[in-house]
Amino acid sequence: MNVSRRLWLGVGAALLVALVLAPMAQAQSATPAPKPAELSGDLAFARFIALIRGHLITGDELIKQHRWNLAYPHFTFPAEEIYGVIRDELPTYHTPAFDGALKALARSVRARNSAQYPKALEKVEAALAAADAGLRARQPDWPRFTVAAAVEVLKAAADEYEDAIVNGRVAHPVGYRTARGFVLQADRMIEAAALRFPAADAAPLGDIRAEMTKIKAAFATLNAPERPTMDEKAVDAIVGQIELAFQKLAPGRQI
Dihedral over alpha carbons 81, 83, 89, 93 (to 10 degrees)? 130
* Chain segment 215-249, per-residue pLDDT in tens: 999 999 999 999 999 999 999 999 999 999 999 88
How far, in Å, CA of 162 to CA of 61, rounded?
Answer: 22
User: Which band of pLDDT confidence, cut at 50, 70 and 90, is reported for residue 31?
Assistant: very low
How far, in Å, CA of 180 to CA of 225, rounded?
Answer: 12
* Chain segment 112-131, per-residue pLDDT in tens: 999 999 999 999 999 999 99
Amino acid at 200: A
Q: Is pLDDT above 90 for 17? A: no
pLDDT of residue 249: 83
pLDDT of residue 1: 58
The pLDDT > 70 percentage for the chain reads 82
pLDDT of residue 85: 95
Q: Is the dihedral of CA 240, 208, 150, 244 positive or negative?
A: positive
Out of 24-38, 50-64, 87-101, 225-239, which region has the weakest mean confidence (pLDDT)? 24-38
Contact (CB, 8 A) for 215 and 154: yes
DSSP structure class, residue 89: G
| pTM score of the predicted model | 0.84
How far, in Å, CA of 25 to CA of 42, rounded?
Answer: 26
What number is the average pLDDT over the span 137-160?
Answer: 96
How far, in Å, CA of 1 to CA of 177, rounded?
Answer: 11
pLDDT of residue 8: 43
CA angle (180 as vertex; 108, 49 as ends), nearest 5: 60
| Residue of 116, 115, 96 whose CA lies nearest to 105 | 116
Q: Is pLDDT above 70 for 183? A: yes
- Tell me what the pLDDT averaged over the chain comes to: 87
Q: Is pLDDT above 80 for 94? A: yes
pLDDT of residue 4: 44
